[in-house]
Chains A and B, each alone.
Chain A
Amino acid sequence: KQEVTQIPAALSVPEGENLVLNCSFTDSAIYNLQWFRQDPGKGLTSLLLIQSSQREQTSGRLNASLDKSSGRSTLYIAASQPGDSATYLCAVPWMDSSYKLIFGSGTRLLVRP
């Protein structure tokens, strides 16, 4: 059974810091891994999707890496800004029914001005 864990649960950093969010999964046989951002009281915004054959994806100040063998993904945020404050979720499709996304419980990020 696939389980997705995110560490830390919460993170507070001063503006300008580079930071890393972690996502781990128990079954390394995944199709892809997706990172989302969720703002308080709002929906999910897809940030990056990494296919299983890829090692990393980049979008602006965001870089996501994937290491299937160790069951880990990291989301790197460069030069953090207060506007980056949100909850970051990672998700993987269930192998038996790939339309079911299995989500981690998220990392709540606060970037202090």
Chain B
Amino acid sequence: NAGVMQNPRHLVRRRGQEARLRCSPMKGHSHVYWYRQLPEEGLKFMVYLQKENIIDESGMPKERFSAEFPKEGPSILRIQQVVRGDSAAYFCASSPEDSYPDEQFFGPGTRLTVL
């Protein structure tokens, strides 16, 4: 029973490039959440998605960041034209379709380094 999977685990990009982070939720989970952990800071909510729907993206920076969770395949967090301040650990979590609030199960994270 695989947990939440994220890839890549480590990603290095130069300023101006694009970063694509992938998250496969636990089997049977249809809710996906993305969090960002900046160096020496706590995790901060970014976005909540269900299949083909963005439910809440209030924690996402207004520019350059986007997220999707298509009908088939993993959820994608996309960062365009990365800057050094985007360097962080990005965590994905998932939960089942039951009503809130429920326990969120976290993936191992993707550590993005922008050179």
Name A's B-contacting residues (CB within 8 A). Answer: 4, 31-32, 34, 36, 41-46, 49, 89, 91, 93-94, 97-106
Q: Is the CB of A100 within 8 A of B59?
A: yes
Minimum CB–CB distance for B5 against chain A, Å:
10
Q: Specify which chain B residues have a CB less than 8 angstroms from the CB of A89 in the assembled complex.
A: 42-43
Encoded as 1 (CB less than 8 Å from any A CB) or 0, chain B from 72 to 115 comes to 00000000000000000001010100001101111111010000
20 A-B pairs with C-beta separation under 8 A: A31-B101, A34-B103, A34-B104, A43-B91, A44-B91, A46-B103, A49-B103, A97-B56, A99-B100, A99-B101, A99-B104, A101-B35, A101-B43, A101-B45, A101-B93, A101-B104, A102-B45, A103-B43, A105-B41, A106-B42
The CA-CA distance from A34 to B93 in the complex, in Å, is: 14
